Amino acid sequence: MNRRDFLSAAMLAGGAMVLPRAVASGDADPAMAAILRAAQQQREAAIQRIRDWIALPSIAAENLNMPEGAQYMAELARAAGFDSASIVPTDGHAGVFATMDNGAERTLGIYFMYDVKQYDPAEWSSPPLEGRMVDKPGYGRAIVGRGAVNQKGPEATFLAALHAMRAAGVKPPVNIVLVAEGEEEIGSPHFSQVVQRPEVFAALKKAEGIFIPASWQNINGGVNVNLGSKGVVELELVASGERWGRGPKGDIHSSYKAMVDSPSWRLVQALHTLVSEDGNTPAIDGWFENVRPLSAREKALIAEAARAGNEAAQREQLGVARWIDDLPYREALERLASQPTVNIEGLVAGYTGPGGKTVLPGRAVAKLDLRLVPDQTRAEAEAKLRAHLDKRGFTDIETNVSGGYDPTETAEDSRLIRAQLAAYQAAGATAKLNPRLAGSWPGAVFTAPPLSLPAGHFGLGHGSGAHAPDEYYVVDSTNPKVAGITEATMGYVDILYQLARIS
């Protein structure tokens, strides 16, 4: 029995995943058998590792526990068997760089983030740092906590794979380079400084590709293999009476609106110019000049996804009744992959507490994210937004960019993508190629020259609620089509072998 068939048979025997094909007979691979036994024996330790990590939140936006988060990340890497793990300073929060030389022919890059989003405990059903175990209908037992799925659960599960191999006395079949940052949740403003360090760049240059651990299996066990991701610019627009020269410098009584200009309405008017009348299409001057249309291959992949997908389930999950312009599902998915967006994340001005407070605010803020598609760039987007506002007389509106990066693209025939597809097939998970993830991650630092590496996401298992209350990561799966933590651990083991042997 080859390694792929043994992995599938072991998972089937454990009852964690139902496989769509027969398993070949023969003797099991002794190395994989030893790794599986170790993963099973270390299961509780792997779960506790996630809970302990959740208990230490590093929140870049609040400058909370950032040095502690970097140090903890380095300690996790060392404990998993990396030869060295060093903290890399930047002009912002530090990154972490670790290497594992296994004397292998090929090298794999791994991207981690150790920071998490902010949280309001009042919105959670259990304390967000407790890591409480709860039942998730259709999936099984899950850890609930900030960072559970984004990204500490999947990342810790990848580390569990290295722990299992180490305990089994099996050397990974590829060398591994780990780069981690603490600013992903604020747009990775300094991550390029980590990657551009000579020793980091030299190590990554040897890699076949790089991926971020993920756990996106749906209730039917399916998963997407992303061939790219949208870029993003995160910023805030600020209107103030002081900078405008009109309206109050601070909040005043609202009765004066009859004779005093309002910075809040000034901001609303500026925002209105950025999009079409329905708010769905960017109207920034020149915004679509470099937007590349979908290729025929990309449209075909999206059409296949629409046929195989569950539109009703996706609508229910998102809490929406219809798509933009009442589009059919296929066209809505095409729009998701192909269209840049201007989104308002939040609006803040004056008093927002209970009841009323009759003020005319002296300052108003809109937090925006701009999603970018090939061939747009972050620099282009920032420049065009500023020029658009200035042309319409909004020179006083501040544009404070906090972070962002360009879109990513990875070739379908790269070794990384083919290894992912092979690993999913070995685990009995239906994998679909997705032209572009609508979300964003700082993969452009890897995919763009001079590194030009294939990059993406990989991982079995399920979790949800990233950035939201009650974020969770499934560790004990009761769904025969979805991996629990041990099966996800073995999935990471298998992709190392897939990458090592694929031609």
Listing DSSP states for 10-73 in one string gives: HHHHHTS---SSPPPPSPPPHHHHHHHHHHHHTHHHHHHHHHHHHTS--BGGGTBSHHHHHHHH
| Stated pTM of the model | 0.91
pLDDT at site 52: 98
- 65-118, pLDDT tens digit by residue? 999 999 999 999 999 999 999 999 999 999 999 999 999 999 999 999 999 999
Please provide the size of the chain in residues. Answer: 503
pLDDT at site 313: 87
Start and end residues for every CATH 3.40.630.10 domain found in the chain: 3-229+407-501
Least Cα distance to 488 among 468, 463, 461 occurs for: 461
CA separation (Å) from 186 to 115, 442, 502? Answer: 9, 11, 36
- Residues in the chain with pLDDT values less than 50: 1-27
CATH of 231-291+339-405, one of 3.40.190.10, 3.30.465.10, 2.30.30.140, 3.30.70.360: 3.30.70.360
Q: Give the contacts of 398 (CB within 8 A, at least 6 positions apart).
A: 236, 237, 238, 239, 240, 243
Cross-strand partners of 178: 98, 110
What is the Cα gyration radius of the chain?
A: 24
**Strand intervals (E) in 334-386:** 341-349, 359-360, 363-372
pLDDT at site 29: 83
| Per-residue burial over 53-77, b = 16 or more CB atoms within 10 Å of its CB, e = otherwise | bbebbbbbeeeebbeebbbbbbebb
DSSP per residue over 444-486, as a string? HHHHSTTT---EEEE--SBEE-TTSTT-EEEEEE-STTS--HH
pLDDT at site 98: 98
Q: Would you state the structure tokens that stand for residue 377, as one six-digit string? A: 């760039």
Tell me which fold the domain 3-229+407-501 belongs to: Aminopeptidase (3.40.630)
Start and end residues for every CATH 3.30.70.360 domain found in the chain: 231-291+339-405
- 449-492, pLDDT tens digit by residue? 999 999 999 999 999 999 999 999 999 999 999 999 999 999 99
